[in-house]
Amino acid sequence: MEIKAAVVREKGAFVIEDLELEEPRDNEVLVRMVACGVCHTDLIARDQYVPVPLPAVLGHEGAGVVERVGSRVTKVQPGDHVAMSYLSCGSCGSCEKGAPTHCDTFMPANFSGARLDGSLTLRKGQDKVHGSFFGQSSFASHSLASERNVVKVPKDLPLEIMGPLGCGIQTGAGGVMNSLKARPGSSIAVFGAGSVGISAIMAAVVSGCTKIIAVDINDDRLTLAKEFGATHAINSAKTDPVAEVVGITGRGLDYSLDCTGVPVVLRSAFDSLATGGVCGLIGAAPAGAEVGLTMQSVLNGRTLMGIVEGDSVCDVFIPLLIELYRQGRFPFDRMVTFYPFEEINRAAEDSEKGKTLKAVLKF
């Protein structure tokens, strides 16, 4: 079928084009897009920090209406509203243990630009275009997803805000609730107050953390972080964040999250821990980036853990976040700024410059 999509042909820009999308296979779902969030991962893939093959259609925070389903699909049916998330195989050791974010095929399933069997879903005439980004490539009027990475969402809630639940929001919130399992009364610092970091701050409030410290270099973002529940804010461009954290807590943190992927920031997040504390790495770093830690700081009981998609089983965690939103305890919609799909480059630029917290494209 003919669709409109934002294509990356050269790093740095999206171009709206007409493409041909394959019909759904027996385990696939055709979704008419209503909205799609713009995530940092889309932008680093556009800029080739992550080597997604070009030309490609990105987008992985899609929300839309199911139009057709394959013969083996039972989870959703035409007319259902869905949010779309990451893809996993469902059959490897990690998936079978209930840890699909650590799927053995996570990288090819989400970043190879093709289905796991190597086939492509998109073309322009006789030219191949890479799709299947996070099993969806949702910067397009229509998307092909797998039954595994669509989540049915309630029809009485605005569908246009649901897409970011599939990646950025579940990553930040899940990092606190699923990965760190933050305890009531504990202390946490979130390094990087973008949409992922703000989601983590809201989750820390839900989890009952009593010292919630936002760390960033943008004063406007720090002001927003306090509006979303941070008890303290540190501008790390103006002061030493480790010393400030110790001053606030008296001993260091129970938990910290690096949402930036910047090695020096990760080191600060780790060094801010108290003995026995846990630091989670969420931010995506360029390939080959390294960080140095003193061995004694690790030996003293501190832990560094890598977190993908907030260790979320999307069919379980997205409905949980939606219920918290209904209760007014997780107001993620306050982060959203809408842009017409045709203005995707402006939405990306505003996101990179910090003018908007969570850009969402509307179709």
Mean pLDDT of 75-82: 98
Number of folded domains that form the chain = 2
Residue 286 scores a pLDDT above 90: no
Asked if residue 100 has a cis previous peptide bond (ω within 30° of 0), the answer is: no
User: Does any domain span residue 313?
Assistant: no
> Same domain for 299 and 192?
yes
Provide the token pair at 269. 């997040």
The reply to whether 204 falls in a domain is yes
State mean pLDDT over 195-219.
Answer: 97
The per-residue pLDDT for 27 is 95
Task: Please indicate, yes or no, whether residues 42 and 156 belong to a single structural domain of this protein.
Answer: yes
Cα 273-317-349 angle, rounded to 5 deg: 75
* In a shared domain, residues 75 and 203: no
Question: Residue 299 above 90 pLDDT?
Answer: no
And the tokens for 325? 């939103």
The structure tokens 């990288």 sit at 107
pLDDT tier at 359 (50, 70, 90 boundaries)? very high
Which residues lie closer than 8 Å to 208 by C-beta, 6 or more apart?
A: 182, 183, 184, 185, 186
- Residue 245 sits in a domain whose CATH number is 3.40.50.720
Q: Looking at the predicted structure, is the pLDDT value of residue 252 above 80?
A: yes
Q: Dihedral sign, CA of 108, 109, 115, 116?
A: positive
Q: Please report which confidence band the pLDDT of residue 192 belongs to, taking 50, 70 and 90 as the band edges.
A: very high
Q: What is the mean pLDDT of the chain?
A: 96
What was the pLDDT predicted at 302?
95
- The pLDDT, as a whole number, for residue 50 is 86
* Average pLDDT of the segment spanning 291-310: 92
d(Cα 144, Cα 131) in Å, to the nearest integer? 9
Confidence grade of residue 108 (pLDDT, cut at 50, 70, 90)? very high
Same domain, 157 and 238: no
DSSP string of 327-347, one letter each residue = TTS--GGGGEEEEEGGGHHHH
**Do residues 354 and 256 share a domain?**
no
Q: Is 178 found in the same domain as 145?
A: no
The amino acid at residue 37 is G
- Residue 245 resides in a domain: yes
Please state, for a pLDDT cut of 70, what percent of the chain lies above it. 100
**Domain co-membership, 112 together with 192:** no
Strand ranges (DSSP E) for 158-282?
A: 187-191, 211-216, 232-235, 253-258, 273-281
* Helix segments in 47-143, DSSP class H: 93-96, 106-111
In a domain, residue 78? The reply is yes
Q: Is residue 325 part of a domain?
A: no
pLDDT in the model for residue 289:
84
Whether residue 317 is contained in a domain is answered as no
Give the domain extent around 147.
2-166+331-362
Shared domain check, 161 and 234: no
Let me know if residue 177 belongs to a domain. yes
My answer on whether 105 and 213 are in the same domain is no
For the chain, the residue count is: 363
283 in a structural domain? yes
Claim to verify: residue 12 and residue 159 sit in the same structural domain: yes
Are 203 and 234 in a shared domain?
yes
Question: What single letter denotes the amino acid at residue 113?
Answer: G
143-184 pLDDT tens trace: 999 999 999 999 999 999 999 999 999 999 999 999 999 999
Alpha-carbon distance 97 to 90, whole Å?
10
pLDDT at 176: 98
Q: How many alpha carbons lie under 13 Å from residue 306 in its C-beta half-sphere?
A: 6
State how beta strands 2-8 and 253-258 pair.
unpaired
Q: Are residue 86 and residue 235 in the same domain, yes or no? A: no
CATH number for the domain spanning 16: value is 3.90.180.10
- Count Cβ atoms below 10 Å from residue 351 Cβ, excluding itself: 23
Residue 36's pLDDT is 98
* Cα distances (angstroms) measured from residue 28 to each of 22, 31, 121, 310, 315: 11, 10, 11, 25, 16
For the stretch 30-61, pLDDT in tens is: 999 999 999 999 999 999 988 899 999 999 99
Residue 198's pLDDT is what? 98
